Structure 1
Amino acid sequence: MNSSKIFLLAGSFLLYFLVQVLMFKNMVIFGVAFCFLYVLYILLLPVEMKTIPMMLIAFILGLGVDMFYDTMGMHIFSLVAIAFVRNFWLGILTPTGGYDENLQPSMLNMGLGWFVTYSLPLFFLHHLLFFYIDSLGTNLFFPVVQKIVASTIFVFVMSIIVQLLFYRRRRGI
């Protein structure tokens, strides 16, 4: 990976972090749909990125979000779990010809159908882990399921909007 790519990844890391803690921290729709858009950063990392560096990046991002949300490691755990599962899930979804080198697995590069099958289960897993940890020791099954489903749909829609507004398709060489 060249230095311009590393600089771009570091800049987008900082941008996702700042947007999450400054804009989306208090964005909750109807008290059930939370916007954890920072998960999209991990999902959009290049396909060839190895699991351990990705888990380290997820740990740092989750730690920063946890510090601002006062959630004591819940964001770290759920985001590192997503980073751990992501390459396995990408392996399952590998197209016939394989992935291009330095490909960002975005909706614009891979298509909406592929992005739905890639991101929705990972968003769901993140929210399942996060809200399960949040509700430990309580008997609030239906409110937790409602938060998981509503937040997953909300973050997925927001991720589509962000990609359409701020990302561009990779051009062929």
Structure 2
Amino acid sequence: MINWLPRYLFNFVAFVLIQVLLLNNLQLSSFMNPYLYILFIITLPFSTPRWLLMIFGFITGLVIDIFMNTLGIHASATVFISFLRPFILSSFSPRDGYQTGTLPVPADYGFGWFFKYSLIMVTTHHLFLFYVEAFNREDFFSILWKSIVSTIASMIFIIIAMLFAKNKSGVN
């Protein structure tokens, strides 16, 4: 675990800075909010214990909440996907399980696998985030539309980020 800690600390800082300095100031529309910072949780090693995933999720979301002044909704959404991540990964697991030393990135399991996995994670995050933000059922369709549009935008940025990944050892 110590071997990958510096790399993922760099990833955490990079994704948060990109989110806070660029994406939060990018005004695409009132329905489109791309969130790249969740790629940090998506690409953590398979061997990351659930308790550590939840702590990383909370810290990541809390930092975004502090910069966006959003009172914990990003922290709750990121903890939620951190909790669900092992279940989602097990549903996409190869027959023999994940190989030791591999990561949930396209270089190790292919673009199709990564796209499906990250699409479920991003969609879950956005649905949870926008429903907690609105906290009512009256705006169901507008929240659903905002989630779909934001998921598409987020996936575009995630794919671009993964194309810039240097090697199979994780996102650099």
Q: Same fold per TM (> 0.5)? A: yes
Residue aligning to 1:92: 91
Aligned partner of residue 23 in structure 2, secondary structure:
coil
Aligned AA (1:153): I
Distance of 1:139 and 1:72 partners within structure 2: 22
1:86 Cα deviation from its structure 2 partner: 0.3
Deviations 1:3-51 (A, max 9, x none): x421111111111111111111122422211111101110000011111
Aligned AA (1:41): F
Alignment of 1:87-126 (within 5 A): 87-126=86-125
Deviates more, 1:56-65 or 1:137-146: 137-146
Aligned AA (2:39): L
Residue aligning to 2:32: 33
Alignment of 1:63-74 (within 5 A): 63-74=62-73
Distance of 2:103 and 2:78 partners within structure 1: 19
Aligned AA (1:91): S
Deviations 1:145-165 (A, max 9, x none): 111000111111111111001
TM norm structure 1: 0.91
Instruction: Tell whether 2:157 aligns with 1:158.
Output: yes
Distance of 2:55 and 2:168 partners within structure 1: 27
Deviates more, 1:124-133 or 1:157-166: 157-166
TM norm structure 2: 0.92
> Percent of aligned positions with the same letter in both sequences?
32
Instruction: Tell whether 2:5 aligns with 1:6.
Output: yes
Distance of 2:102 and 2:47 partners within structure 1: 8
Distance of 2:26 and 2:107 partners within structure 1: 26
Q: Which runs of 5+ in 2 are unaligned?
A: none
Distance of 1:167 and 1:132 partners within structure 2: 36
1:68 Cα deviation from its structure 2 partner: 0.7
Distance of 2:8 and 2:168 partners within structure 1: 17
Contact 1:107/1:160 (<8 A) preserved: no
Aligned AA (2:102): L
Aligned partner of residue 153 in structure 2, secondary structure:
helix
